[in-house]
Structure 1
Amino acid sequence: MKLKEDMNPLLLQVFRSVVWVYSVITFLPWYFFSGAGTNLERARRIKARSISGHPAGPYRAINSQEKLVAWLHPGVDSLDKVFEYAARKFPERDCLGTRQVLSEEDELQPNGKVFKKVILGNYNWLSYDEAYQTAKCFGSGLAALGQKPRCNIAIFCETRAEWIIAAQACFMYNFPLVTLYSTLGPTAIAHGLNETEVTHIITSKDLLQSRLKAILCDVPRLQYIIVVDRKPTTWPDIPRGIMVYNMDTVQDLGSKPENSEGTFHLPKNPMPSDIAVIMYTSGSTGIPKGVMISHSNIIAGITGMAERIPNLDETDTYIGYLPLAHVLELSAELVCISHGCRIGYSSPQTLADQSTKIKKGSKGDTSVLRPTLMAAVPEIMDRIYKNVMTKVEGMSSFQRTLFVLAYNYKMEQISKGYSTPLCDSLVFKRVRALLGGNTRVLLSGGAPLSAATQRFMNICLCCPVGQGYGLTETCGAGTISEVWDYSTGRVGAPLVCSEITLKDWEEGGYYSTDKPNPRGEILLGGPNVTMGYYKNESKNREDFFVDENGQRWFCTGDIGEFHPDGCLKIIDRKKDLVKLQAGEYVSLGKVEAVLKNCALIDNICAYANSDQSYVISFVVPNHKQLTVLAEQMHVRGTWEEICNSTEMEKEVLRIITEAAISAKLERFEIPKKIRLSAEPWTPETGLVTDAFKLKRKELKSHYQEDIERMYGGK
């Protein structure tokens, strides 16, 4: 994974000699004062072990061999108590922050499109005590509007401070919170609201106007809509029988004497086993399923996550921008709240100085907030990686050579557990500034992260990348790699709240007795394993089970292998395995992970029919790279015409084939035909989930004509 060193051999040797002398002079004082020896020892230690002695497991973290850990603090066994604990311990500390919009204007782009551009001010903060009291009043107001304990209430809103305040209010008053992605289509939204029989929903003015209003007549039980924005205060075109309130109005209602302390609208403390959240997955297959998550499930999950973040405390700052309807973001924010961290809110459109909604010359959210903690999905990290490498290619020869040499030198050093403060300050400082320059832990989840991107983030952002593995069905908790572990392509050891067993999968050829490492389907067990799918008993019987010790387990469908140090690597997925006509098995996910590292590719979906002998692919090309390639090949036209060009398809296929051969893909795994897509795949298109996982069923339907053409049907 080293970068190519395009430099005169003599000068390269001189550089290496200088580096060697520098390393010798600085090594001993640095080694003893930096704690490098301790970090190296931590990286090499055994992190998990099979408690049965059998290679199938169950595997547990070394510090939870005797018993899994289920709570953060004694007696704090429900989410309302977690927030109360934090509010009492950190009453005056900043809790939730939002940037003020100073100005907003429309800006015409060269392609004729109009983008909204904003200039944002500093963050305005609510303290822990203020956030707690606001949530308490809001919960009381909801109760005054007829919301009952143990009766479902929905939230359909973008990630913002009001989302987490509303959630905390629901936790306090034991209102099970139904979460829906803001990018879901109308059918999925109506399905979730009707299945859970909600009468109250919390949303934003934008989503009410753009998505919710169109399906209100399809949700007959809905009576109350609470809009988190302060304006507008009236909605004349809402169907009869539905009342619309602003969040401030509901809070004021809850603060009235008749609805506050001393009345029947007091918080109704939930039991640990009560449902806290019914989380609808974004659905990589079919209609989204609602996952029932109890208070104790979430507390176990965040306990395991918090244990993997060293020195987590009230001095940390987290930037929240991923969908709070995703279990990764909700869990990450609850971890932060439980430790008194401050959370500043952002969005993918305002995250960095170069983000699409930030007016040129003004600062993005990371530059202002300078977070120490951040979560990201691989799609975002892949974009950073490709954008930086594109800029490196455009550097002068001297700058590019310096960057490559520093990159390769640092790669060698961190593989030994060493740091490179000089390279960090002289070469990688500007790259690190993309995320504010203060990040100490970056958590990746939601989908597999390629080894190349993970190593790039380690090196250029100067912080460890903790790759995690978890699912909505396990509260997002399963494994997270330790910050001292600088290996790539692995997801770490089981968290202290969970254990993992490998189940043999005969059809795929994966067995716990495999050498050198045991392999099989990942079964996740522990107090973080959720209560199951809402109103879906047949699926519950298929995916969940309880063992003879009363332990609850979830069958993930993912294939993993355990390394000798107890770390897990995800190597396949049962649903992604296709048997070709000649009997070869192709892992579509493996093909995609390899080819996505190609600079020419922004996204890719591999596809294969069992009655065919080869793999095909749909490719979203990188706009800049493909445009340059088209110029080199003298192919002219609009973006759509370039993507539809047979000549361009052939050339891109040639480049992809070379990349596949270089990555040692088998002959039958390499796509034989491709289709270039001019349209990017976003959650709004319905072709990927909010975590940017491919929706294979929707992609197959979308490209059905192309599939038939590539397989000779047309």
Structure 2
Amino acid sequence: PLPQSPPGPYRSVASLKALTTGLHPGRDTLDGVFEHAAQHFPNRDCLGTRQLLSEEDEVQPNGKVFKKVILGDYIWLSYREAYQAAAHFGSGLAALGQRPQYNIAIFCETRAEWIITAQACFMYNFPLVTLYSTLGGPAIAHGLNETEVTHIITSKDLFQSRLKVSQGLEQIIVVDNKPGTWTDFPKGIRVQSMATVQELGAKPENLSKPRSRPKPTDIAVIMYTSGSTGIPKGVMISHSNLIAGITGMAERIPGLWYTDDTYIGYLPLAHVLELSAELVCVSHGCRIGYSSPQTLADQSTKIKKGSKGDTSVLQPTLMAAVPEIMDRIYKNVMTKVQEMTSVQRTLFVLAYNYKMEQISKGYSTPLCDRLVFRKVRSLLGGKTRVLLSGGAPLSAATQRFMNICFCCPVGQGYGLTETCGAGTISDMWDYSTGRVGAPLVCSEIMLKDWEEGGYHSTDKPNPRGEILIGGPNVTMGYYKNEAKNREDFFVDKNSQRWFCTGDIGEFDPDGCLKIIDRKKDLVKLQAGEYVSLGKVEAVLKNCSLIDNICAYANSDESYVIGFVVPNQKQLMTLAKEKRIVGSWEEICNNPEMEKEVLRIITDAAVAGKLERFEIPKKIRLSAEPWTPETGLVTDAFKLKRKELKTHYQDDIERMYGGK
């Protein structure tokens, strides 16, 4: 028989039509798209920031000090004002010696100034190097040195706490209004505020200078991915890549053209999911109100008790969230349900099950929404009409819960920095779980056989294999990394670029994709069985006792082990039942507790149909949560396996009998 070519490509039936019309006819670069928005919606609110009214230090019972803030209303820049701010900033950067097609870096939290900087760079054709604020010092220095930047835009907090100045740096521009008096920066580097640079750019002699406009093929962004392995790689994203990506995304979000949508921006803008989502909003005249994970809701850590979080004030209609944040909301609400009176709890469960049945038939439940779920819905401001999830797999339980309690569809998407974050997004009327939807109009998808893992495009009932994404949203490759480019990207006979994702997918008969595995997560045990660590984690994450889990296996051992971040409330309840007392650390380190949690995990694994050899035989409970700051997970909360292995090396040796 002839060799099987990969089946596909799978594509959206609307693909060619939607892409030929594009976002706005004749606007084929990002500065053109922003200009179009400023001309069509000049007086609409564009970027909003909450006023800081006061901040104070609050001493906790354990002696730790938390900074608490009281915030006022949102202050808005209109589209015309935002466009002007960007034009002045770009002109000012040019006056300071920044030249077209020479890299410039931004290292800053998600805020209005970030997008203004990005738009200024798009206008003046300065490729923008983006760095995660939680990358480690060496990784940041690597990005700055590799891209040879002379100018960097940052904030005072990040500059003082994280930035290691690289060679060749000449100008540091601080987004805060008053950079204050600093003495600890290196000699020979000028530090000034964004406002000063804008004033310089607004001078008629600078504004009147002709600017070098970008071409669609020019690089708009060099985005350093936080990579779960090795040193970060800079992904080169052109103007046409981003426009194709946001065209694809916008096509899946119903009613963008006709509504006055408000989007809440709080995820890192150095991540492709957030940048694409905000560019979709700007291209359609939506408002973007800025927030942060610490000030998102009334209960958030930085919000002073009794004052309002950002969602309550902004009441967003659109929101993107990583599963980690949705899981947190889900667990918080479920804990509150446990604390209700038995009558209230019964009512909640009845309403929940009734609504689940109704939405699976395509019906809405206005009465239940108003009487039972309104309170939960108000956690996100009460007006959310679409929630978008990306960055990692969302558990079925959490997705169902968000659908039901927040009374809006949850679109799950799949994409990578290398494909502009675009690949698939589920349709808003599709209430099935565990799937990431059909290909976007900008993407084609093929499945390539992977012999070692036993996945084939001829598998029955559904084809399976490594996901390859092709289309105009597939980026230009990695910056200064030819070897990796040859490995991960290729161009087909029709001159279309493709990216090999390393993820394993399966297509359902209706054209929707499921992510079922990852090539890098596969480990072969001593007896020859292959274990997918990602699959084990996905099943066990549904267990309410687990906040996070990392499965680990050594090829010369016969079993899997696991590191577990337990849910504090649930574990304390379990400890009480077992009459085990002590501090949080002592309970996590108690061998009896380890045994007890392992028993519950094993039951969950059996219920989740894991094979015998896939079930962890030993575990370690971690008293410390894993956050991007600890360096054990990426900014999108994906596990960094290498770092976790190093961190738990002693425990690995103990669980594998001290080998």
Give the TM-score of the pair, scaled to structure 1: 0.91
Find 1:307's aligned residue among 219, 230, 251: 251
Q: Which residues in structure 2 correspond to 1:254-293 (within 5 Å)?
A: 254-261=201-208, 263=209, 266-293=210-237
8 Å Cα contact 2:53/2:70 also seen in 1: yes
Alignment match, 1:24: none
8 Å Cα contact 1:159/1:345 also seen in 2: yes
8 Å Cα contact 2:474/2:497 also seen in 1: yes
Q: How many pairs align?
A: 655
2:236 matches 1:296: no
Q: Which has the higher contact order (CA 8 A, sep 6+)?
A: 1
Deviation of 1:234 after TM superposition, in Å, equals: 3.2
Find 2:169's aligned residue among 215, 222, 227: 222
8 Å Cα contact 2:6/2:448 also seen in 1: no
Task: Classify 1:611/1:69 alpha carbon distance in 2 versus 1 (closer, same or farther; 3 Å).
Answer: farther
2:425 matches 1:474: no
Deviation of 1:237 after TM superposition, in Å, equals: 2.0
CA offsets, 1:426-482, max 9 Å, x none? 111111111111000000001111111111110111100000000000000000001
What secondary structure, in the 3-state scheme, does the structure 2 residue paired with 1:422 have? Answer: helix
8 Å Cα contact 2:179/2:192 also seen in 1: no
Task: Classify 1:452/1:69 alpha carbon distance in 2 versus 1 (closer, same or farther; 3 Å).
Answer: farther
Q: Which residues in structure 2 correspond to 1:67-78 (within 5 Å)?
A: 71-78=22-29
CA distance in 2, matches of 1:64, 1:242: 49
Alignment match, 1:504: 449
CA distance in 1, matches of 2:315, 2:274: 18
Find 1:359's aligned residue among 284, 293, 304: 304
2:510 matches 1:565: yes
Deviation of 1:353 after TM superposition, in Å, equals: 0.4
Deviation of 1:226 after TM superposition, in Å, equals: 0.3
More divergent stretch after superposition (250-259 vs 188-197): 250-259
Find 1:194's aligned residue among 130, 139, 145: 145
Task: Classify 1:311/1:336 alpha carbon distance in 2 versus 1 (closer, same or farther; 3 Å).
Answer: same
Alignment match, 2:65: 114
2:84 matches 1:123: no
Alignment match, 2:482: 537
What secondary structure, in the 3-state scheme, does the structure 2 residue paired with 1:237 have? Answer: coil
**Percent identity at matched positions?**
84
CA distance in 2, matches of 1:487, 1:308: 16
In structure 1, what residue type is equivalent to 2:98? Q
CA offsets, 1:528-579, max 9 Å, x none? 0000000000000000000000000000000001111100010111111111
Q: Which residues in structure 2 correspond to 1:74-153 (within 5 Å)?
A: 74-153=25-104
Q: Gapped runs of 5+ residues in structure 2? A: none
Find 2:371's aligned residue among 426, 445, 463: 426
CA distance in 1, matches of 2:388, 2:281: 13
More divergent stretch after superposition (510-519 vs 578-587): 578-587
CA distance in 2, matches of 1:568, 1:111: 48
CA distance in 2, matches of 1:681, 1:528: 32
8 Å Cα contact 1:55/1:513 also seen in 2: no
Alignment match, 2:193: 246
Alignment match, 1:235: 182
What secondary structure, in the 3-state scheme, does the structure 1 residue paired with 2:216 have? Answer: coil
Alignment match, 1:43: none
What secondary structure, in the 3-state scheme, does the structure 1 residue paired with 2:572 have? Answer: helix
8 Å Cα contact 2:298/2:312 also seen in 1: yes
Deviation of 1:71 after TM superposition, in Å, equals: 2.7
What secondary structure, in the 3-state scheme, does the structure 2 residue paired with 1:692 have? Answer: coil
8 Å Cα contact 2:6/2:449 also seen in 1: no
What secondary structure, in the 3-state scheme, does the structure 2 residue paired with 1:512 have? Answer: coil
8 Å Cα contact 2:218/2:238 also seen in 1: yes
CA distance in 2, matches of 1:70, 1:245: 42
What secondary structure, in the 3-state scheme, does the structure 1 residue paired with 2:616 have? Answer: coil
CA distance in 1, matches of 2:590, 2:396: 32
Find 1:208's aligned residue among 143, 159, 165: 159
CA distance in 2, matches of 1:368, 1:339: 22
Deviation of 1:235 after TM superposition, in Å, equals: 2.2
Alignment match, 2:634: 689
In structure 2, what residue type is equivalent to 1:563? D
2:592 matches 1:641: no
CA distance in 2, matches of 1:202, 1:460: 40
What secondary structure, in the 3-state scheme, does the structure 1 residue paired with 2:162 have? Answer: helix
What secondary structure, in the 3-state scheme, does the structure 2 residue paired with 1:232 have? Answer: coil
What secondary structure, in the 3-state scheme, does the structure 2 residue paired with 1:414 have? Answer: helix
Task: Classify 1:573/1:640 alpha carbon distance in 2 versus 1 (closer, same or farther; 3 Å).
Answer: same
8 Å Cα contact 1:352/1:363 also seen in 2: yes
CA distance in 2, matches of 1:83, 1:64: 24
CA offsets, 1:269-319, max 9 Å, x none? 100000000000011101100000000000000000000001103500000
In structure 2, what residue type is equivalent to 1:596? K
Find 2:341's aligned residue among 383, 393, 396: 396
8 Å Cα contact 2:19/2:244 also seen in 1: no
In structure 1, what residue type is equivalent to 2:323? P
Alignment match, 2:645: 700
Deviation of 1:378 after TM superposition, in Å, equals: 0.4
CA distance in 1, matches of 2:638, 2:261: 30
What secondary structure, in the 3-state scheme, does the structure 2 residue paired with 1:104 have? Answer: strand
In structure 1, what residue type is equivalent to 2:150? T
2:284 matches 1:339: yes
Deviation of 1:639 after TM superposition, in Å, equals: 1.4
CA distance in 1, matches of 2:493, 2:179: 56
Q: Which residues in structure 2 correspond to 1:299-698 (within 5 Å)?
A: 299-313=243-257, 315-698=260-643
Deviation of 1:233 after TM superposition, in Å, equals: 3.6
What secondary structure, in the 3-state scheme, does the structure 2 residue paired with 1:62 have? Answer: coil
8 Å Cα contact 1:70/1:527 also seen in 2: no
Q: Gapped runs of 5+ residues in structure 1? A: 1-52
What secondary structure, in the 3-state scheme, does the structure 2 residue paired with 1:146 have? Answer: coil
Alignment match, 1:22: none
Q: RMSD of aligned C-alpha atoms?
A: 1.3
8 Å Cα contact 1:653/1:673 also seen in 2: yes
In structure 2, what residue type is equivalent to 1:270? P
Alignment match, 1:47: none
8 Å Cα contact 1:561/1:569 also seen in 2: yes
CA distance in 2, matches of 1:65, 1:258: 45
